[in-house]
């Protein structure tokens, strides 16, 4: 039987991706994709800070948060930000500096996956 919490986190991440696609057609004075780029930057920093805070909470307070919805959601979000940065880099839509910044999200996401696996013991 599949757990509901990872499924909810995946659905939430897909909904956020849908919002990015929905707002892609904005005609701003700053450029066609300015709204999407600024939303992606804010989402990246929010996911990074949220993931680091949850990792510290897991490591220092030893609470059973590794199976909570917010922990799984932040894990999925950090990995999605990293994956999208890699795809954008290979499609030549992002530069190497942006890729390196977003790989930090991937590192936090992998650390959170390790915490989830350790929390199952």
Domain boundaries, the chain: 32-119
Residue with tokens 């990792």: 55
CA 2 to centroid of chain Cα atoms: 22
User: Tens of pLDDT along 47-70?
Assistant: 889 899 888 888 887 666 656 778
State how far the Cα of 41 lies from the Cα of 65, in Å rounded to an integer: 26
Q: From the first residue on, what is the mean pLDDT of each consecutive set of 10 residues in the chain (121 residues)?
A: 62 69 60 69 87 86 70 87 86 83 89 80 60
| pTM for this predicted structure | 0.72
Task: Return the closest-CA partner of residue 83 out of 115, 40, 50.
Answer: 40
Strands (E), 21-66: none
């Amino acid at each position: 039987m599949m757990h509901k919490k990872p499924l909810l986190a995946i659905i939430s991440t897909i909904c956020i991706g849908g919002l990015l696609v929905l707002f892609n057609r904005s005609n701003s004075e700053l450029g066609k994709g300015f709204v999407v780029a600024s939303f992606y930057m804010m989402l990246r920093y929010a996911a990074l800070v949220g993931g680091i805070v949850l990792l510290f909470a897991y490591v220092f307070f030893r609470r059973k948060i590794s199976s909570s919805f917010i922990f799984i959601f932040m894990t999925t979000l950090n990995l999605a930000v990293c994956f999208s940065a890699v795809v954008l880099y290979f499609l030549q839509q992002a530069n190497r500096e942006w890729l390196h910044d977003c790989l930090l999200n991937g590192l936090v996401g992998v650390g959170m996956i390790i915490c989830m696996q350790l929390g199952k013991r």
